Chain A
Amino acid sequence: MDFALMWEITPLLLKAAWITVTISVMAFILGLAVAILLVIMRSASFRIIRWPSRIYVSVIRGTPFFVQLLIFYYGGAAFGINLEAYTAGLLAIGLNIGAYMSEGIRGSILAVDKGQNEASRSLGFSRTQTMISVILPQAAGLMIRSLGVLGVIVIKGSSLVSIISVVELTYQSQRIISSTYKPFEVFAVSAALYLILIYGVISIVDWLYDRYTRHLHH
């Protein structure tokens, strides 16, 4: 092991890891916005609004994220749109994860006992009030879990934007490996950074989960 090299490349990889963090966080927020829109559309009373949401989720989940990314970056030219690599990557991750998030959110809402809705409605709460103050608090636990898993998937998936040359952690690692021919040393450092990010997110999610489900287990 070439420890001197590992020490030398750490600042570069840290800088790249920061790009991984920012693109992941922004993509996650974009994904949430997309997901909320999809869930609302899915619960609409008109088929014309429900179906686009279903088709979107099905297409996104049925095709590889990698191909979606390539379409975003290289396919835009057919429409006269040329996105910057970072923007294309961010949009591709956000639009992709939003579909998965919408399923997670819907699943946790549907998992709440139907009687809760009926009871609340018969007590005179409106549909919106019931959703906000009765259903969502009970769905929060499950929702945190599934969104947390997707957060981890976002971080791992963000490594693919290296292919369209966004200088994030995997891009930088690959570049250093091919210039130094020291794959194990470089992997050790960048794997350590990914592990900190990913298991960090998992611990935060576990903590949040415990906080929001404390009422369930005394």
Chain B
Amino acid sequence: MNFDFTPVWDNIPTLIEGTGYTLLIALFAAILSLVGGLVVSLTTLYGKKIFSYPLRFFIWLFMGTPLLLQLYLLYFGLGQVGILIPALLTGILGLGIHYMAYNADIFRATIQSIEKGQTEAARSLGFGRMQTLWFFIVPQAVFRALPQLGNNMIIMLKDTSVLSVIGVTELVLNAQFEIANTFRPFEFYISIAVIYYMLNLVMETSLNRFEKKLENRR
């Protein structure tokens, strides 16, 4: 047994850069998955059949297959149809679309959980169908969905690590780059595990605090 963490310490800038990319990817994928998830759930619930059925199929397909397989489809599939985009963008798209399906499922459940009386009251006050949806149903549904969405985003932050497989330079790939130079896999992987743990801790504590605040508001 011999450990040597000095190579890790010497290459800390690479790991910091990787952490930056990981956070950036998580942020953009989160925005994509949340906005997209809401749009998808609204379409499956209220849209015309030609839109709602394919989107239902999308949710079913993407919740029933592994992220990695979807990433391969996107990575090779985009090239196949002649779309060449940077790996970083492919990664954000892949992760964002995967979690879009999960978020859409959450939104669908919370939208359906809003009492019918809300719609009836808004409609009888003269609001249109779209207005009712936008000003009464969606805000309440989003509010109810927040804890679950937060949990999903925490899981997503950890899943950004998988993107290294399709060549996205984030924390894992940056570590692997240095491992190739230093031959210290254990030390590097343990170090990035610590970084992920800290990121996760920050997100979990803030989500818990946020949830407490929400409870107090009720």
A residues with a Cβ closer than 8 A to B are 59, 61-68, 70-71, 74-80, 155-160, 162-163, 169-170, 173-174, 177-178, 181-184, 187, 190-191, 194-195, 198-199
Contacts and interface: CB of A to CB of B under 8 A. Distances in A.
B66 A156 contact: yes
Contacts of B39: none
Nearest to A184: B77
A170 B69 contact: yes
B185 A191 contact: no
Nearest to B204: A62
Interface in B187-218: 187, 189-190, 192-193, 196-197, 200-201, 204
Given A64-B193, A170-B68, 20 more contacts: A62-B196, A64-B160, A64-B161, A64-B196, A66-B161, A66-B162, A66-B164, A67-B161, A67-B172, A67-B196, A71-B189, A71-B190, A71-B193, A77-B185, A78-B2, A159-B67, A160-B162, A162-B68, A170-B66, A194-B69
A173 B72 contact: yes
A71 B186 contact: yes
B164 to A, nearest CB: 8
A162 B68 CA distance: 9
Interface of B: 1-3, 60-61, 64-69, 72-73, 76-77, 80, 158-162, 164-165, 172, 179, 185-187, 189-190, 192-193, 196-197, 200-201, 204
Contacts of A156: 65-67
Contact of B73 (A68, A163, A183): A183
Given A62-B196, A68-B193, A78 B69 contact: no
Nearest to B3: A78
Nearest to A161: B68
24 contacts: A59-B197, A64-B161, A64-B162, A64-B196, A67-B161, A67-B193, A70-B185, A71-B186, A74-B185, A75-B190, A76-B186, A77-B186, A78-B2, A78-B186, A80-B1, A159-B69, A160-B162, A170-B69, A181-B80, A182-B80, A184-B80, A191-B65, A195-B64, A198-B65
Given A173-B69, A194-B69, A63 B200 contact: yes
Contacts of A170: 66, 68-69, 72
Contacts of A159: 66-69
Contacts of B162: 64, 66, 160
Contacts of B1: 78-80
- Give the residue among B1, B66, B72 with the most A Cβ atoms within 10 A: B66
Contacts of A194: 64-66, 69
Contacts of B190: 71, 75
B122 to A, nearest CB: 33
A169 B68 CA distance: 11
Given A78-B2, A190-B69, A183 B76 contact: yes
Nearest to A80: B1
- 3 smallest beta-carbon distances between A and B, as pairs: A159-B66, A75-B186, A78-B186
Contacts of B72: 170, 173-174, 177, 183, 187
A66 B176 CA distance: 13
Interface core residue of A70, A158, A191 (most chain B CB under 10 Å) = A70
Contacts of B65: 156, 191, 194-195, 198
Contacts of A178: 76
Given A66-B161, A183-B72, A74 B64 contact: no
B58 to A, nearest CB: 12
